[in-house]
């Protein structure tokens, strides 16, 4: 353990660099057989859920979303289907070619079971559904592999959000539809913008389109032995959220110590001039207020991460959370902030803390790393902080606007504001977003407001400092972009006066990987 006090900071950096360079050389040899000699898991497989080593790698799919957003740009985001077949078969999503459904979310106003629907999913054969089951029964946890924590309920007990992150791959074709299974007077109906009488149900289906079906096995209820093993390991990894998922994958080295933060002084916890991957950052301090986390990869002109410490870990920026926040990739447990997203670098890495407080702060830290040999298509982990106080009146506020190639992996909102806010993802200069949501709480897989809490591996809402803080990880179904990604969010949506009029404080983070630009020739 090294402890730094003022002038001893330089000694820690030199000590850290020496230890890291020596251990990285050894780690490269030990780790080579477990990384470069392996191929990435097949997208859409359970193995993909299990292996975080490939999160920074460039993605070669297109992420899309089907949802019930109001096609007229209005307030009514329920029941707007792709089309209606045979009078009462509501088509939610249809895709051709190889791909995978990665996320499904539903809610409706009446209590569970009061508005029964059959959920039908057609895989490759447009005539025979592979999944044909009551919607609420589907999310009951009684039908593996659609079981907690990969699938289930969250939010209000009687009117929950229903979510699934179980992959449903297809090779040639996929269609998802709902069909009411009770008399019509049992349902809430309304008239949509197309003057159709439709049920009042909300939905989102996030899916990927792949360029090739290589290795892809269409979904069936019966898993092969390798699929069953990967599914069981994935479920266990999710149940153990807040523990490092790297322990079974790497022979990592750990740097640990205690540092003292003084006002406006940058304290380097790690400086490294080799190459490798940081796959664990853990910090413990009593007061995160006015402390910023900063990270630079490969001598970038400015840090790729420079954000308030708390929100980076899905926590409040002023005080530690009153209870654990057990996300799979970032969170807080037993007094420790943690991040397990891999952070590759080719030539150098620097992780620092900066405090603006007049009072000295002590911080305990643990940083794990390996000398993993990297390919050239690994991105830098970046964090963008947005902070609108107030947001622009009459137009959506901006969550992210980045140029280059990369992929989004998480959105954290420490001030999500008004719950009625559609998200829009504009990928590579799109004029019409290929991903259009139905509300802030829906994006985080909850329903009917932001006060219903839960901390789950891939999404959650917790109450900290008397306000909701929400997180959602787009893993493994990251959102790739080749030239740009712009994400905007509505702030309020009054059915009489219109959207984007709420003037409260909105802030959060977007976490993404950005591919390094090739050197000029």
DSSP annotation string for 159-198: SEEEEE---EEESSEEEEEEEE-S-GGGS-EEE-TTS-EE
Residue 108, beta-bridge partner list: 201
Domains of the chain: 1-60+241-377 (2.60.120.1390), 63-210 (2.60.120.1390), 379-521 (2.60.120.1390)
Alpha carbon dihedral 416, 157, 337, 402, in 10-degree steps, equals -40
Question: Which residues partner with 411 through β-bridges?
Answer: 472, 510
Contact 181, 116 (CB under 8 A): yes
Please say if the pLDDT value at position 163 is more than 90: yes
* pLDDT of res. 197: 82
Q: For residues 426 and 434, what is the distance between their CA atoms, to the nearest angstrom? A: 7
- Give 6's pLDDT tier (boundaries 50, 70, 90): very low
| pLDDT over 90, % of the chain | 78
- Cα(473)–Cα(327) distance, rounded to whole angstroms? 9
The structure's pTM equals 0.92
The token pair at 151 is: 């699938």
d(CA 188, CA 192): 13
> 335-379, pLDDT tens digit by residue?
999 999 999 999 999 999 999 999 999 999 999 998 865 566 899
pLDDT at residue 505, as a whole number: 96
Determine the average pLDDT of the residues in 404-419.
Answer: 94
- Partners of residue 472 on adjacent β-strands: 411, 459
pLDDT digits (tens, 9 = 90+) for 216-257: 999 999 999 999 999 999 999 999 999 999 887 767 788 999
Q: Is the pLDDT of residue 210 over 80?
A: yes
Distance CA 501, CA 499 (A): 6
């Amino acid at each position: 353990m090294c402890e730094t006090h003022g002038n001893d900071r330089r000694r820690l950096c030199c000590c850290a660099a020496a230890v890291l360079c020596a251990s990285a050389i050894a780690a490269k040899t030990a780790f080579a057989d477990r990384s470069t000699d392996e191929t990435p898991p097949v997208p859409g497989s359970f193995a993909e859920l299990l292996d975080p080593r490939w999160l920074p790698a460039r993605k070669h799919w297109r992420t899309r979303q089907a949802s019930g957003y109001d096609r007229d740009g209005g307030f009514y985001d329920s029941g707007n289907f792709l089309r209606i077949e045979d009078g009462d078969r509501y088509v939610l999503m249809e895709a051709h070619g190889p791909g995978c459904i990665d996320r499904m979310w539903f809610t409706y106003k009446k209590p569970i079971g009061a508005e029964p629907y059959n959920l039908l999913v057609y895989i490759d054969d447009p005539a025979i559904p592979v999944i044909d089951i009551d919607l609420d029964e589907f999310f009951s946890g009684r039908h593996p592999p659609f079981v907690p924590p990969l699938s289930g309920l969250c939010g209000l007990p009687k009117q929950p959000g229903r979510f699934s992150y179980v992959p449903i791959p297809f090779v040639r074709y996929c269609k998802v539809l709902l069909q009411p299974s009770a008399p019509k007077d049992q349902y809430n109906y309304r008239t949509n913008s197309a003057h159709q009488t439709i049920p009042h149900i909300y939905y989102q289906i996030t899916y990927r389109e792949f360029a090739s079906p290589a290795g892809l096995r269409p979904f069936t209820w019966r898993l092969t032995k390798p699929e069953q093993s990967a599914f069981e390991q994935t479920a266990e990894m999710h149940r153990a959220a807040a523990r490092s998922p790297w322990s079974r994958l790497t022979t990592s080295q750990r740097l640990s110590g205690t540092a003292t933060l003084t006002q406006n002084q940058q304290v380097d916890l790690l400086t490294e001039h080799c190459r490798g991957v940081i796959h664990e950052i853990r910090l413990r301090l009593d007061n995160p207020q006015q402390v910023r986390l900063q990270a630079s990869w490969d001598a970038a002109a400015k840090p790729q991460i420079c954000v308030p410490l708390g929100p980076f870990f899905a926590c409040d920026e002023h005080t530690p959370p009153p209870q654990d926040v057990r996300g799979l990739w970032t969170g807080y447990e037993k007094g420790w902030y943690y991040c397990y997203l891999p952070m590759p670098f080719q030539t150098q890495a620097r992780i620092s803390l900066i405090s603006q407080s007049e009072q000295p702060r002590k911080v305990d830290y643990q940083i794990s790393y390996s000398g993993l040999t990297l390919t050239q298509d690994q991105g830098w982990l970046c964090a963008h902080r947005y902070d609108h106080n107030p947001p622009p009146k009459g137009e959506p506020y901006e969550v992210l606007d980045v140029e280059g190639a990369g992929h989004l992996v998480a959105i954290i909102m420490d001030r999500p504001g008004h719950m009625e806010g559609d998200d829009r993802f504009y990928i590579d200069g799109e004029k019409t977003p290929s991903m259009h949501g139905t509300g802030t709480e829906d994006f985080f897989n909850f329903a009917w407001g932001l006060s219903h809490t839960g901390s789950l591996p891939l999404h959650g809402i917790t109450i900290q400092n008397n306000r909701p803080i929400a997180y959602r990880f787009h893993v493994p179904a990251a959102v790739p972009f080749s030239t740009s990604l712009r994400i905007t969010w509505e702030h309020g949506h009054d059915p009489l006066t219109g959207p984007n009029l709420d003037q409260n404080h909105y802030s959060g983070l977007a976490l993404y990987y950005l591919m390094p630009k090739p050197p000029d020739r």
